[in-house]
Amino acid sequence: MKIDKKSMLLYVVTDRTWLGENSLVDQVEDTLKAGATFIQLREKDLPFEDFLKEAKEIKVITDRYKLPFVINDNVEVAIKCNADGVHVGQEDMNARNVRNLIGEDKILGVSASTVKEAKAAEENGADYIGVGAIVSTSTKEEAKVVSMDTLKDICHAVSIPVVAIGGINEENVLKLKGSGVDGICVISAIFSKENIYDASKKLYNLSSKMVSYEV
């Protein structure tokens, strides 16, 4: 599966911090019903077998909705669950090495916070760039904030889709209008909410307005 810019419109990264009595699989489906366009499974502490089982369960749902599903960082899980691809950060495995492992037909996303990093990612086989943090966020406290000027420069420097990530919510998403990004990547703005469907729907509509796509 390859992606286009509209795949970035509402890019959702999972977080089990707010699971409560719900399952992550159910939460993911709620976001998909509301308009999520891309799912990334992010698990930093789950044992390998549990991670793989969860990934396979979510892949069934994303296949049903015919939407992209990638694994954060863990190439082995991505390959074993037949995910659509992998997303890696600057501190993770080199993008070219990941591309060699997953093949040309899988999706490769790479995080970047500078033009240099973004251009290198594209040259090394990335299909899209995740730029952030746009706003300081508790999900990744060590991430430095990227200025609006740098965000614009990155969008102009690469030919592949760009999604903005980090501290984005319904209050600030429209501030990205005119930056050149193709959508937003959110975590707590959805999963910390009591009604995940409603939160996802609202963010989908706002992101659509921000990038001037028709809803």
Catalytic residue among 96, 140, 152, 209: 140
d(CA 103, CA 163): 23
Residue 37 CB burial class (10 angstroms; 0-12, 13-18, ≥19): buried
CA angle 194, 40, 18 (to 5 degrees): 25
Separation of alpha carbons 128 and 190, rounded Å: 22
CB atoms under 10 Å from CB of 34, counted, come to 21
- Confirm whether 140 is a catalytic residue: yes
Nearest to residue 171, comparing CAs of 211, 210, 215?
210
Query: What span, in angstroms and rounded, lies between the C-alpha atoms of 186 and 126?
Result: 20
Q: Which residues contact 15 (CB under 8 A, 6 or more apart)?
A: 42, 139, 187, 188, 191
Catalytic residue (choose from 7, 59, 111, 188) = 111
Of the candidates 196, 104, 112, the one whose C-alpha atom is nearest the C-alpha of residue 153 is 112
Active site residue 42: yes
**Catalytic one of 42, 56, 96, 193:** 42
Q: Which residues are catalytic?
A: 42, 111, 140
